[in-house]
Amino acid sequence: MGQYFENVDLPSKMVKTNAFVLGKKFIFCTDNGVFSKDGLDFGSRLLLETIPLEEVGGKVLDMGCGYGVFGIVLNKITSCYVDMVDVNLRAIHLSEINIKENKCENVNVFESNAYEKINSKYSCIVTNPPIRAGKQVVYEIVMNARNYLDDDGKLFLVIRKEQGAKSLISDLEKYYNVEILNKKKGFFIVKCSL
CATH of residue 157's domain is: 3.40.50.150
Burial class (CB in 10 A: 0-12, 13-18, 19+), 129: buried
Dihedral angle of Cα 125, 56, 190, 103, to the nearest 10 degrees: -70
Buried residues in 146-174 as b, exposed as e (16+ CB within 10 A) = bebbeeebbbbbbbeeebebeebbeebee
Q: How confident is the model at residue 2, as a pLDDT?
A: 36
Phi, psi values for residue 173, rounded to 5° = -65, -15
pLDDT digits (tens, 9 = 90+) for 62-85: 999 999 999 999 999 998 999 999
pLDDT band at 4 (very low <50, low <70, confident <90, very high): very low
Please count the structural domains in the chain.
1
Q: Which residue would you say has higher pLDDT here, 111 or 37?
A: 111
* CA nearest neighbour of 80 among 65, 95, 60: 60
d(CA 152, CA 146): 10
Residue 132 — very low, low, confident or very high, per pLDDT cuts 50/70/90?
confident
Range of the domain at 86: 2-193
Can you give the pTM of this predicted structure? 0.93
Residue range 117-121: mean pLDDT, rounded: 96
